[in-house]
Structure 1
Amino acid sequence: MLNTMRKYAAGWVAQILLGLLVLSFAVWGIADVFTGVSNHSVARVGGTDISSVNYDRAYRRELQAMSQRVGQQITPDQAKMLGIPNQVLGRLVTEAALDDQAKNLNIGVSREMLIREIAEDPAFKGAGGTFDRNYFVSLLRNNGMTEDAYVLERRAQEKRQQIAESISGGATAPQALAKALHEYQTEQRDIRYIALPTSSVGEIAAPNADELTAYYNDNKADWRAPETRTIAFIKLGPDEVARPDDISDADAQKAYDAEKARYTTPETRHVFQAVFTDESSAQTAADQLKAGESFDSMLEGIGKKLSDSDLGVVTKDKLIDPKVAEAAFSLPANSSSGVIKGSFGPVVVHVTDIVPEAVKAFDEVKAEVKKELALASAKADINVLRDSIEDARAGGASLDEIATNNKLTVKKVVTDQTGKDVDGNAVADIPAQAQLLKDAFASDVGIDNAAIPTEDGGYVWFTIADINEAHDRPLEEVKDKVIEAWKKQATTDKLVAKAKDAKDRLGKGETLDAVATSLGLTVQTLDKLTRSSRPTGAFSTEALKAAFAGPKGSVEVAPGAEDSEQIVLQVADVIQTPYTPGANDNAPVTQQLADAMQNDLLQQYVAELQRQLGVTVNQSVLQQIISAI
C-alpha cells in the first residue's frame, strides 16, 4: 500500500501526505520528548489538537532536513524567509484534519496489517534483505524514537493512507488528454539556424554628450550607490584570545606524548588474497609460490586474475580477518605467505609495496600542538572575558578602550546591506556576517548594540561609526560604466535589427543558405529536438522555445547563448510520434496525468475538510516556539 501511495508525489498535497506516510530516517535526529516548550496547543483542527511539542519537533526536523539538503546550517531567520514555519504548520494541519476525519469515520487498522506493513518497510530490512528486528530497534533508538511512539505514529499514518487511497486511488487520465500531452512531449523538430555574433555589427562608436546624458538619465537607477555603513567591531573568539607563546615546551611535549597516534601515519601494504575452496588446493598453490612461481602465474593457473584478489593498499586494521592481517603485515615486500586458515576458508596472501609507519617528530608539530592547547584554554576563558566586556560596556567604556584592555583589535568595514563595498565587491572578514549586517542596518550611530554569537563560540560587539545614505552617483563618477553600457545596448539593438532583417528576407523567399552566405555565416543544424532537449553551442533556451512556436517552415529570432548574440532559426521539419492507447511507451505520460488528477482530488478534499472542520491557530504559542529555536 505504501508503494501505491508513493506515486502521488507530483503535487504539494501529495508530497505532504507522502511525508506523513513514509518516515524519512535520513532527516531524523530530534529526540522523542522535548523540554522547555509550553504545553499549549499550536493549532486545533476540528476536535484534534496540534501540540506545541509536536510542532516544535516537526519544525526542528524540517530545519535539519533543509540544512542537509543545502549543505549548510539554516538559521532561524533564513527559515522564516523561506516560509518553513508556515510550511510545517500547513503539513501538521493537513495531518490533523485527516486524523480527525479518520476518528469521525471510525477507521481502524488491524494489528496484523500494522505488523505486515512495518515488516515490509524497506527502511527496516537488514543485510539479508528481510525485516531485522534488532536493526529496527537500533534504528529507532539512534533517531530518538521509542518503539511504542513509532507504532502509534505508524498506525495513524495507515489510517490517513486509507482516506487518501479512497479519495484518489482510482483516478485515471482521459484518453484525449493523454494523447495531447503525449504529442506535446514527444514532438520532435529539425532546426536550421545561423548565429549572429556581436562582431557582425562592427565597432560601436562612443556616444556623444547628449546621447550619454540621455542614457544616464533613463537608467540612473543602474548606477545608484546603495546605503553603506562603517561598522566598527571587536571579535572575541578562540583565535583572538589564544596565546600559543604562553604554552611551555614541557606542556606541549606532554600533550604530544598523550596523543602521539594523531601524528603517526600507520604502515600500509598492497595486499592480494587468493581464496581456495579446500586446504589441499591452497597448499598446492603455496608450494608453487615457494618454488619460485609468480603470484600472477599461480592465479592464472587456477583461473583467476590479479584484479580478482586485489585488496588494495591497506593498513593492518582494515583487514577484517585477524589471521590474514597478521600474516600480511609480517611478510617482506614482494613475497607470499603459506596457507592461512582464514575465517572464510584457506587463503594465501601476497604483499608488494610497503610504506613503513611514519611518526612526526615533536619539533615538527610543536607549534601546532601549542596552538591547539592555547585554543582549548581560550574557549574556557571566553565566557569570563565576555562578562568582563559586558561590565565595561555597561560602565560606558568605548570599543577602543575595551579592545586595549583585553588585547583585542578594533576593526572597521564599510559595507552595504549585502556585504559589498561601494564598488560592488564582496567585503572580506565580516564575522557572523548575516546577523551582523542585519543588526547593523537596523541600528544607528551612537546606539549600544547587543553582542552577536559567532560559530566558533565567541562574540562580536559593534557600533555604527558612520552612515552614507543611498544616492545617485553623478555622471562623471560612473561615466566609463555608462559608456560601456550604452555601447552594449547599441550593439544589441543593431544586432536585433540585423536579425529581424534576415528574418524578413527569409519571409520574402530567400533561402537560409543565401542569407548566411551574404552575412559571412554558416548554417548550423540541430535534429530531433524536443521541448525538453538541452540546448548546446550558440543555441539558447530562448531559441529552443522559439523553435516550437510555429509550424514547419516558420522563421523566428531569439537571443543566443552568448551575451548580445542573436539566433535566426527556421523549422526544417516537424516529426510527430503516433499515440497508441495502452502502449507501454505511453505509460509514463498516462501515469503523469493520473498522478496530477489524484493530487488535484486530494488537494480539493483536504481544503474542503479543513473548511468543514475549522482551523484555529494560537499565534502566540507558535511564535514562542519559532523564536526559541
Structure 2
Amino acid sequence: MLQGMRNASKGLLGKVVLFVLFGLLIVSFAIWGIGDMLRGGSRNTVAMVGKTEITMEQLRAAWQNELQRLSQQYRTVITPAQAREMGLDAIVLGRLVTEAAMDQEARDMKLGVTDAFVVETIAADPNFRGVNGQFDRARFTEVLRNNGFSEAAFLAEQRNTLLRRQISEGLAGGVTTPTAMNQAVYRVNAERRAASWVALPAAAIGEIAAPSDEAVKSFFESRKASFRAPEFRTFNAVALTPAALAKAKNLAAAVTDAEIRAHYEKTKETAWGTPERRRLQQISFPDEATAKAAVESIRAGKPFETVAKERGVAEKDLDLGEVTRAQMVDPAVRDAAFALAPGAVSDPVKGNFGVVVVRAASVTPAAIKPLAEVADAIRTELAVAKAREEITALHDRIEDQRINARPLAEIARDAGLTVVKVEGVDNQGKDRRGAQSTALLALPGAQELLRDAFNTDVGADNEALNVDGGYVWFEVTNVEAARDRTLAEARADVEKLWREDQVNAKLMARADEIVKKVDGGATLAAASGLAVKTASDLRRGQATGELDADAVRQIFAIPAGKAGSASKPGQRIIFQVTSATMPPYTASAISPQLAEQMNLALTDDLLTSYVRILQNRFGVSINQQNLRNAIGSAQQ
C-alpha cells in the first residue's frame, strides 16, 4: 500500500519511477560479489553504496513487506525458504541498493525539495483523504501506524522519492519509441492466421503396459523432486469474533422484543425489503400566489405538462425521476410528495430552493417483509452488535494473560472460547491426503492465518490477527520439515506420472509422423485419418474455441503452409497453417495504451543502465553474514 502512497507524481514518468525503483519492474542488479566484502565495520550494516548505508532493519522490513505482498498477490503463503529459492533476497537487496545509489547521486548533485512541496505532495495523496475528499490528519496517522512508519520516517522517505524523481525525469523525460520499434511491435500484434487442425486422442496410441519395478525406480530417482513431501505445520487457533462471542455468551437471549421492533422500524425499508418509489414531476414558481393559481388550473383539468411548458420548464427539468423517500434532500418537498395519491398534485410547497408544485406521476409500493419473518435475524444482529461492544475489553484481558505467559488453551477456556487444532497442513492449506483442511477453512481469516503460521516458529509469541471485526490468536505446535518421500510412499504418484509421460511421448512421436507427411504434400485428413477442423482470425497467444493459448502460439511459430503440433492434456493438436495476413501499418496503428507500455519499457532500460553506472562509480559492498541474519537464513 505504501508503495502507492509514495507515488509523488501524477504523470506517466512518475509511474515509471515507481515501476523501477519500488519493485514492479525490479531487476537483479548483479550486486552479489561487487566490491570488497565487509570484513568488519558496523555490526548493523548489510551493504554500503558509496557513503550510503543499508541497515539490517531496512532490509528486514523490506523483506517482510515483499513476503506479505507476494502472499497476497498469489493468494497463498510464501515461506521465507520459498522466497529465497525464488531469488527474492537478491531482488529486495537490489531494490535497496538502487534507492541508495539514487540517493547518493541526489546528494552529490546537491538536489533538494522544499518542505512545502513535500507537504503538498502528501496532502494530495488520495490514500490520506477523508470522506469529504480532503486531507485527513487522523487517516494519515492511522495509515502510517498500520504500515509501521513514524511520521518523521515517512516524510524522509517521501522527500527521497521526490529527489529520485528529479534525476529520473532529467534522464528519461519525454522518451518515445522510434518508428522502427513501433512497426516491429505492430507486426507482432496485428498479424492474423488461419489453420486446419485435428485432435489426436490418447486412445489412438493403444494401451500402455504396466511399468517394471526397475522402470518405476529409475523414473522415481530421475524425478525425485517432483514427489517431495512439503512442509507441514500444526497449530492451535482461538477466534474471538462478534458472532462467536454472541453465541458463546448467548447474548441473543438478552435482546428484548422492544429492541427488535425498534430496530425493525428503523431499518425495514433498507434491510428487509424494497422501499416505496415514486416518479415525481416538479414545477418552480416565483411566489405562492402564482403557484396556487397554477394548482387550481391543473385540478380544473389543465395538463401538468402544459403548465410546465408555459412556465418555460424544459422536459428534462420537469421529471425528477423515480426516487425513494431517503433520496429526497428537501424535507418539505419530500413530505408533500410522499403524501400524494398516485397522479395527484400537491399544494404550493415552500422548499429550500423556492416555491414548487409536485406531482406523483406514478407510485411503486414498498415490499417489506413482516416483522415476524425477520425477528430472529434481527435478534442475532443485535446480539452481534452487543458482542462487538465487548470485543475490545476481552481482547485486552486476553493480551494481559498472554504477556504473563499463560497457555493459550487455558486463556480460551476461561473466556468461553474454543481452541481449534489445525492438524498437519502445507502452505496451501492442504492436509497429507491433499484435501483442504476443514478445520482451517472454518476459522475467520483462514488465508491470513495460514500465511502467518508459516512465517513464525514453534513457541513464538505471535500477534493476533484482526479479522471480521474481531481477533484470532494462534500458536504453532509442530513443524514437519519438507522431505524426500520414499518410493514406497510415492509409488502411486510415480506410476501415474510415468504413464502420463509415456502417453505424451507416444502422442508426440505419432504427431511428428503426421506433420512430416503433411509437410511432404499430404493433406491433413489423409495423413491423420481424423476429422479436420478449421480456425480463422487467430491472434497471437490468444485462445479461441477448442484451441488453447499454447496451440495458438505454436501456430504463429511456424511459416504459413507448414504443419506442427502442440500438447494438450490427454491429446495432441496437429495443425497446418493455411494463411497469414498483415494489415498495412499506419501512424495510428499503435494504441495509446500500447505506446505507454513501450515507453515504460524504454525508460526502464535507461534507468537500469544508469543505476548500474552509479553502482560502479560509488562501489557496492555487501556484508553477507548480516544479509543472512537479516532475512533469517544464517542457520540454513
Cα gap change, 1:461 to 1:595, in 2 (>3 Å):
closer
Q: Which of 524, 545, 549 is the equivalent residue of 2:534?
A: 524
Q: 1:553: how far off?
A: 1.0
Work out whether 1:557 is the aligned partner of 2:552.
Answer: no
Q: Secondary structure at the match of 1:550?
A: coil
Q: Which of 270, 275, 284 is the equivalent residue of 1:268?
A: 275
Q: Which of 516, 524, 532 is the equivalent residue of 1:512?
A: 524
Cα gap change, 1:143 to 1:73, in 2 (>3 Å):
farther
Query: For 1:245-394, what aligned pairs fall within 5 Å after superposition?
Result: 252=256, 264-265=268-269, 268-276=275-283, 290=299, 304=315, 309-312=320-323, 314=324, 316-332=325-341, 335-343=344-352, 346=356, 348-350=358-360, 352-355=363-366, 360=371, 364=376, 365-366=378-379, 369-370=382-383, 373=386, 376-377=389-390, 380-381=393-394, 384=397
Q: 1:460: how far off?
A: 3.8
Work out whether 1:568 is the aligned partner of 2:601.
Answer: no
Kept in 1: contact 2:261–2:371 (CA 8 A) = no
Long gaps (5+) in structure 1? 20-39, 125-131
Corresponding residue for residue 128 of structure 1: none
Q: 1:545: how far off?
A: 1.8
Work out whether 1:420 is the aligned partner of 2:425.
Answer: no
Cα RMSD between the aligned structures?
Answer: 6.0
Q: 1:570: how far off?
A: 1.4
Cα gap change, 1:611 to 1:291, in 2 (>3 Å):
farther
Q: Which amino acid letter does the alignment assign opposite residue 338 of structure 2?
A: F
Q: 1:182: how far off?
A: 3.5
Kept in 2: contact 1:232–1:412 (CA 8 A) = yes
Work out whether 1:189 is the aligned partner of 2:200.
Answer: no
Q: Which amino acid letter does the alignment assign opposite residue 562 of structure 2?
A: S
Cα gap change, 1:329 to 1:531, in 2 (>3 Å):
same
Superposed CA deviations along residues 31-74 of structure 1, whole A, max 9, x for unmatched, are: xxxxxxxxx9998765667899999999999899x599859899
Kept in 1: contact 2:220–2:487 (CA 8 A) = no
Q: 1:506: how far off?
A: 0.9
Q: Which amino acid letter does the alignment assign opposite residue 539 of structure 1?
A: L
Q: Which of 146, 164, 167 is the equivalent residue of 1:163?
A: 167
Kept in 2: contact 1:107–1:159 (CA 8 A) = yes
Q: 1:552: how far off?
A: 2.0
Counterpart Cα distance in 2 of 1:412 and 1:150? 40
Counterpart Cα distance in 2 of 1:41 and 1:18? 26
Corresponding residue for residue 535 of structure 1: 543
Kept in 1: contact 2:17–2:168 (CA 8 A) = no
Corresponding residue for residue 605 of structure 1: 610
Kept in 2: contact 1:207–1:483 (CA 8 A) = no
Cα gap change, 1:8 to 1:240, in 2 (>3 Å):
closer
Q: 1:179: how far off?
A: 3.9
Counterpart Cα distance in 2 of 1:275 and 1:185? 55
Counterpart Cα distance in 2 of 1:424 and 1:49? 46
Q: Which amino acid letter does the alignment assign opposite residue 472 of structure 1?
A: T
Q: Secondary structure at the match of 1:457?
A: strand
Q: Which amino acid letter does the alignment assign opposite residue 457 of structure 1?
A: Y
Counterpart Cα distance in 1 of 2:90 and 2:251? 52
Q: Which amino acid letter does the alignment assign opposite residue 564 of structure 1?
A: G
Q: Secondary structure at the match of 2:135?
A: helix
Counterpart Cα distance in 2 of 1:449 and 1:53? 20
Superposed CA deviations along residues 397-447 of structure 1, whole A, max 9, x for unmatched, are: x96x9887876666655424333233211111235642685389x65xxxx
Report the identity percentage. 24
- Normalization by structure 1: what TM-score? 0.66
Counterpart Cα distance in 2 of 1:370 and 1:378? 12
Work out whether 1:503 is the aligned partner of 2:519.
Answer: no
Kept in 1: contact 2:196–2:532 (CA 8 A) = no
Query: For 1:99-118, what aligned pairs fall within 5 Å after superposition?
Result: 99-107=103-111
Residues 611-620 or 343-352, more deviating? 611-620
Counterpart Cα distance in 2 of 1:402 and 1:109? 53
Long gaps (5+) in structure 2? 1-7, 27-43, 145-149
Q: Which amino acid letter does the alignment assign opposite residue 500 of structure 1?
A: D
Q: Which amino acid letter does the alignment assign opposite residue 542 of structure 1?
A: D
Aligned length: 571
Residues 167-176 or 323-332, more deviating? 167-176
Q: Which amino acid letter does the alignment assign opposite residue 570 of structure 2?
A: S
Counterpart Cα distance in 1 of 2:194 and 2:99? 49
Counterpart Cα distance in 2 of 1:152 and 1:465? 41
Counterpart Cα distance in 2 of 1:219 and 1:515? 37
Corresponding residue for residue 140 of structure 2: 143
Corresponding residue for residue 434 of structure 1: 450
Residues 257-266 or 342-351, more deviating? 257-266
Query: For 1:37-186, what aligned pairs fall within 5 Å after superposition?
Result: 66=69, 70=73, 94-95=98-99, 97-107=101-111, 138=135, 142-144=139-141, 160-169=164-173, 171=175, 173=177, 175-186=179-190
Q: Which amino acid letter does the alignment assign opposite residue 235 of structure 1?
A: V
Kept in 2: contact 1:187–1:574 (CA 8 A) = yes
Q: 1:567: how far off?
A: 1.6
Q: Secondary structure at the match of 2:276?
A: strand
Corresponding residue for residue 6 of structure 1: 13
Counterpart Cα distance in 2 of 1:405 and 1:148? 42
Q: Which amino acid letter does the alignment assign opposite residue 573 of structure 1?
A: S
Q: 1:243: how far off?
A: 6.3
Q: 1:2: how far off?
A: 5.8
Kept in 2: contact 1:553–1:570 (CA 8 A) = yes
Q: Which of 465, 469, 486 is the equivalent residue of 1:472?
A: 486
Kept in 2: contact 1:194–1:568 (CA 8 A) = yes
Work out whether 1:585 is the aligned partner of 2:600.
Answer: no
Superposed CA deviations along residues 316-345 of structure 1, whole A, max 9, x for unmatched, are: 333222333222333345644345455556
Kept in 1: contact 2:196–2:576 (CA 8 A) = yes
